[in-house]
């Protein structure tokens, strides 16, 4: 670890987080976890917004004895990709209900753009749902159907709240195939770039959108926080983890610094990945190789190659290491806040970052901020 910042505010952890009795300390959750993974794509239609229709990926834990389905395949526009761990719609785990994490993709991205993170979270014991923000996807850029910026910004947090509505409906329906695996009382939101803006907006409100009170924790990643006012950021009071790269050109680190200084949450963490680029937290390097070989249309290929410069450049941190850090912190953060499981707090400390030689600048605070 090159640089390390001590906690801004240190307050002893109390009984707010409770580890399972007699449970052994967990191994660092920086990759695929103990669960097998199921994957399915569904369509959700919002009648309150002129039948706005969103394709939504669902990633969920699966018991080992039921992991007998074929490998899941991602739809990558002009080809498909067989996933290493996820299977195509096997039976969900019968072990009980798991916390829900909703993921919001970046501008001009798509719902599975960060599949390493989504697949890993499901294997670590979360149900992950990831919608396409229709009007702001890679396909919209290709076909000229991109919405105006103000429409995109207004739709994004509403998309997340709508998806939570739908998934909560599954959880309340005893006939739902996926309902019994979802705990609608434990909800986190993560997002990359404009998806990071979305996570912040869901927790703090934006324009005439009111913050969603069901969301318990957020993880904005390389977040485009500039679209939110000081008051909207200050309204964020749920546990927050801000993950960014120090070498981000598209959304410079100043966005994270500003958000960090304004959010009013009593529990906040921030990791700035040294030499991390804007797309170090996506699967852009995998996409480049796959889609060049598959004959991606030039409009999207040019965008993808430009994006790859901020993830795959030899001047940046190795993208596999950036992904490992991202999975470690996402799993530990959501485990400790949505679990709650105090054992994962050990990974949310400057001491662990130092001991594990993580290339991050680390900040944290706990207790009243205002």
Long-range contacts of 141-146 (CB under 8 A, 24+ apart): 141/108, 141/299, 141/300, 141/303, 142/77, 142/297, 142/299, 142/300, 146/108
Query: What would the two tokens of residue 291 be?
Result: 């889609």
Find where tokens 């697949």 sit.
119
Q: Is the peptide bond before 340 cis (omega within 30 degrees of 0)?
A: yes
Whole-number Å distance between alpha carbons of 29 and 335: 10
Identify the pLDDT of residue 2.
Answer: 40
Burial class (CB in 10 A: 0-12, 13-18, 19+), 315: exposed
SS3 285: helix
Helices (H) and strands (E) in the chain, counts: 10, 11
Closest by CA to 198, choosing from 130, 246, 299, is: 130
pTM of the model as a whole: 0.92
Identify the pLDDT of residue 367.
Answer: 61
10-residue averages of pLDDT along the chain (370 residues) = 35 33 74 97 98 98 97 92 96 98 97 98 98 96 94 98 98 98 98 98 98 98 98 98 98 98 97 98 94 79 86 97 98 94 96 97 76
- Cβ neighbours around 35 below 10 Å, total: 21
- Answer whether 310's CB lies under 8 Å from 250's CB: yes
Burial class (CB in 10 A: 0-12, 13-18, 19+), 125: buried
Whole-number Å distance between alpha carbons of 253 and 261: 13
Whole-number Å distance between alpha carbons of 355 and 335: 21
Burial class (CB in 10 A: 0-12, 13-18, 19+), 358: buried
Identify the pLDDT of residue 4.
Answer: 37
Query: What would the two tokens of residue 138 be?
Result: 């890679």
Closest by CA to 260, choosing from 220, 207, 217, is: 220
Identify the pLDDT of residue 7.
Answer: 34
Identify the pLDDT of residue 339.
Answer: 81
Whole-number Å distance between alpha carbons of 243 and 362: 10
Identify the pLDDT of residue 113.
Answer: 97
Find where tokens 């120090």 sit.
246
Identify the pLDDT of residue 297.
Answer: 76
Query: What would the two tokens of residue 38 be?
Result: 């199921």
Half-sphere exposure of 221 (CA within 13 A, CB side): 28
């Amino acid at each position: 670890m090159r640089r390390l910042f001590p906690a801004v505010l240190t307050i002893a952890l109390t009984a707010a987080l409770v580890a399972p009795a007699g449970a052994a300390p967990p191994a660092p959750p920086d990759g695929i976890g103990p669960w097998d993974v199921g994957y399915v794509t569904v369509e959700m239609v919002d009648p309150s917004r002129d039948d706005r229709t969103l394709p939504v990926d669902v990633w969920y834990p699966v018991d080992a004895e039921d992991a007998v389905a074929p490998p899941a395949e991602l739809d990558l526009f002009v080809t498909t990709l067989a996933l290493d761990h996820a299977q195509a719609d096997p039976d969900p785990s019968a072990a009980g209900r798991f916390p829900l994490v909703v993921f919001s993709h970046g501008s001009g991205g798509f719902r599975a753009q960060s599949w390493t993170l989504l697949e890993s979270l499901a294997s670590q014991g979360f149900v992950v749902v990831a919608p396409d923000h229709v009007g702001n996807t890679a396909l919209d850029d290709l076909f000229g159907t991109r919405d105006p910026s103000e429409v995109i910004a207004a739709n994004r947090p509403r998309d997340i709240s709508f998806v939570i509505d739908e998934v909560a409906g599954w959880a309340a329906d005893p006939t739902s195939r996926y309902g019994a695996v979802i705990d609608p009382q434990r909800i986190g939101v993560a997002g990359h770039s404009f998806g990071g803006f979305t996570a912040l907006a869901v927790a703090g409100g934006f324009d005439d959108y009111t913050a969603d009170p069901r969301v318990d924790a957020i993880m904005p990643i390389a977040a485009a926080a500039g679209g939110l006012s000081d008051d909207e950021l200050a309204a964020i009071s749920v546990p927050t983890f801000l993950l960014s790269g120090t070498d981000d050109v598209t959304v410079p680190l100043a966005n994270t610094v500003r958000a960090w200084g304004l959010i009013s949450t009593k529990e906040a963490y921030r990791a700035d990945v040294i030499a991390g680029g804007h797309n170090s937290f996506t699967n852009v390097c995998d996409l480049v190789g796959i889609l060049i070989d598959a004959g991606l249309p030039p409009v999207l290929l040019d965008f993808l190659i430009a994006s790859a410069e901020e993830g795959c450049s030899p001047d940046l941190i190795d993208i596999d290491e950036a992904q490992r850090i991202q999975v470690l912190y996402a799993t530990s953060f959501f485990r400790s806040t949505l679990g709650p499981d105090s054992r994962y707090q050990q990974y949310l400390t400057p001491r662990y970052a130092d001991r594990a030689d993580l290339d991050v600048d680390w900040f944290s605070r706990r207790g009243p901020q205002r």
